């Protein structure tokens, strides 16, 4: 085991290397490209015994990954943002094939307007596809989650592809100390993949992806895939236990941080959750009973664990780094459905923040607690709050005033 500074992208590449992946279909996109560049470099130097193929699009890349996985080859691929969306048809299709492989998504907000920095609308577009989703908050978690993801997806009770998600810039290009486990221990945790009865072979052809009409057979196949996804909750806990025994790091489907006696809980996903931890520590030091609950697994949704952790809490500040246009925060919706049947459920306040990589400041975490406390005291839940300051709008108006001047100069008054 060595401990060194790695970016999130470097950690993802190390995960693939330690998992001894056989095949990597690839297509570049910022901020993911460093992952496939790193792997290509290792293959070139003979440090990784894998085959990499560059495809002409993410659509072909995901098709290729799914096809390879059905032959029993351990497959790894990575994309981001627009690339994930471009391949979306095949995201649903390969999950239906029950093809287990790992796709690392480096979150980047979606166009338009186009940007490079992260939010979770890209990965959440794949929410209902059948892919399992693991969301990471640190570079260490990225490496470890790639290993856990293979165990999870390849389990015969699951057999589904897995997305491991990390935030662009905040993890992808950020170096942190990461423990790189020893090969032998990883081999023990992650033996070679044996697809058993589901192996597809050219020499022994079977038909896959058959058309079904009338709905009944379709219902069977889709619901079976749903049940397989739900099985992943139990398998994740089993695999995590073994992981902890071997590597000393514990991963639960939902991370709880200082929640035991907490009255107010931050509920959020991704790397900004470490900022929430920082705020929790600082608020605790002045006597506020605050904690953090972070779903690591989004699919399957660990509803029972979340309900358990939130029993008896007074208020929850749900922070969505995404926006379902015309509805609101996606995590807020998911949490409401999980808590609906709970007696004495906590007050839930919805915050939308960090869109397009906008920072969430320490003071904003403090303020979210203050707003939630007020909602607890008064019983009045405020409308969803976009984290957006007065100065930001003034700046926007400044830019728009330039655009108007230019509009007059450019085209004349319209």
Residues that bind another protein (CB under 8 A): 4-5, 30, 112-113, 116, 169-170, 173-177, 271-272, 274-275, 277-279, 281-283, 285-286, 288, 359, 361-364, 366-367, 385-391, 393, 400, 403-404, 406-407, 409-411
Shortest distance, position 179 Cβ to another protein, whole Å: 13
Shortest distance, position 379 Cβ to another protein, whole Å: 21
- What tokens appear for 230 in the block? 């739900």
- What tokens appear for 91 in the block? 């995201």
d(CA 31, CA 126): 18
Nearest in space to 356 (alpha carbons), one of 133, 105, 167, 76: 167
Nearest residue (CB) to another protein, 30 versus 208: 30
d(CA 332, CA 295): 12
Shortest distance, position 360 Cβ to another protein, whole Å: 9
d(CA 270, CA 320): 10
d(CA 196, CA 72): 8
Nearest residue (CB) to another protein, 92 versus 173: 173
Nearest residue (CB) to another protein, 4 versus 308: 4
d(CA 105, CA 129): 14
Nearest residue (CB) to another protein, 156 versus 176: 176
Nearest residue (CB) to another protein, 242 versus 359: 359
**To which H or E segment does residue 367 belong?**
helix 362-378
Spatial neighbors of 373 by CB under 8 A, at least 6 apart, are 264, 315
Shortest distance, position 400 Cβ to another protein, whole Å: 7
Our measurement of the distance from residue 388's CA atom to the centroid of its chain's CA atoms, rounded to an integer in Å, reads 24
DSSP 3-state assignment of 298? strand
Q: Is residue 189 exposed (0-12), middle (13-18) or buried (19+ Cβ within 10 Å)?
A: buried
The Cβ of residue 101 has, within 10 Å, a number of other Cβ atoms equal to 29
Nearest residue (CB) to another protein, 235 versus 387: 387
Nearest residue (CB) to another protein, 206 versus 403: 403
Nearest residue (CB) to another protein, 45 versus 344: 45
Shortest distance, position 285 Cβ to another protein, whole Å: 7
Q: What is the DSSP letter of 215?
A: S
d(CA 404, CA 97): 52
Shortest distance, position 85 Cβ to another protein, whole Å: 18
Shortest distance, position 305 Cβ to another protein, whole Å: 23
Shortest distance, position 127 Cβ to another protein, whole Å: 24
Shortest distance, position 408 Cβ to another protein, whole Å: 8
Nearest residue (CB) to another protein, 167 versus 334: 167
Pick left, alpha or beta for residue 325 (phi over 0 → left; psi -120 to 50 → alpha; otherwise beta): beta
Pick left, alpha or beta for residue 261 (phi over 0 → left; psi -120 to 50 → alpha; otherwise beta): alpha
**6 in Cβ contact with 178 (< 8 Å):** yes
Nearest residue (CB) to another protein, 83 versus 270: 270
DSSP 3-state assignment of 77? strand
């Amino acid at each position: 085991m060595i401990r060194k500074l790695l970016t999130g992208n470097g950690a993802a590449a190390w995960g693939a290397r330690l998992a001894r992946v056989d095949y990597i279909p690839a297509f570049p996109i910022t901020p993911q490209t460093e992952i496939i560049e790193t792997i290509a470099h290792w293959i070139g130097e003979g440090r990784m015994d894998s085959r990499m193929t560059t495809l002409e699009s993410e659509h072909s890349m995901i098709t290729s990954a799914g096809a390879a996985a059905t032959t029993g080859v351990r497959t790894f691929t990575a994309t981001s943002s627009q690339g994930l969306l471009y391949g979306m048809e095949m995201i649903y299709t390969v999950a239906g094939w029950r093809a287990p492989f790992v796709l690392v998504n480096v979150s980047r907000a979606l166009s338009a307007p186009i940007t490079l920095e992260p939010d979770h609308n890209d990965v959440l577009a794949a929410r209902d596809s059948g892919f399992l989703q693991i969301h990471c908050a640190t570079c260490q978690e990225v490496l470890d989650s790639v290993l856990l993801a293979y165990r999870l997806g390849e389990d015969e009770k699951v057999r589904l592809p897995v997305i491991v998600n990390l935030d662009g810039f905040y993890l992808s290009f950020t170096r942190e100390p990461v423990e790189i486990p020893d090969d032998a221990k990883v081999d023990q945790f992650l033996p070679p993949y044996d697809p058993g009865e589901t192996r597809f072979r050219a020499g022994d052809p079977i038909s896959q992806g058959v058309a079904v009409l009338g709905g009944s057979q379709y219902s069977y196949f889709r619901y079976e895939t749903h049940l397989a996804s739900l099985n992943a909750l139990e398998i994740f806990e089993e695999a995590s236990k073994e992981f902890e025994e071997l590597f000393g790091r514990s991963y639960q489907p939902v991370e709880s941080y200082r929640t035991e006696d907490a009255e107010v809980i931050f509920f959020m996903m991704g790397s900004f959750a470490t900022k929430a931890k920082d705020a929790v520590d600082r608020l605790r030091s002045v006597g506020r009973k605050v904690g953090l609950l972070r779903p690591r697994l989004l699919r399957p949704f660990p509803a029972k664990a979340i309900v358990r952790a939130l029993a008896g809490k007074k208020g929850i500040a749900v922070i969505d780094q995404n926006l379902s246009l015309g509805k609101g925060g996606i995590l807020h919706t998911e949490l409401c459905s999980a808590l609906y049947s709970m007696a004495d459920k906590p007050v839930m306040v919805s915050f939308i923040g960090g869109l397009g990589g906008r920072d969430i400041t320490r003071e904003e975490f403090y303020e979210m607690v203050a707003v939630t406390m007020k909602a607890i005291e008064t019983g009045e839940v405020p409308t969803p709050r976009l984290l957006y300051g007065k100065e930001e709008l003034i700046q926007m108006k400044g830019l728009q005033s330039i655009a108007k001047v230019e509009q007059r100069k450019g085209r004349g008054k319209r």
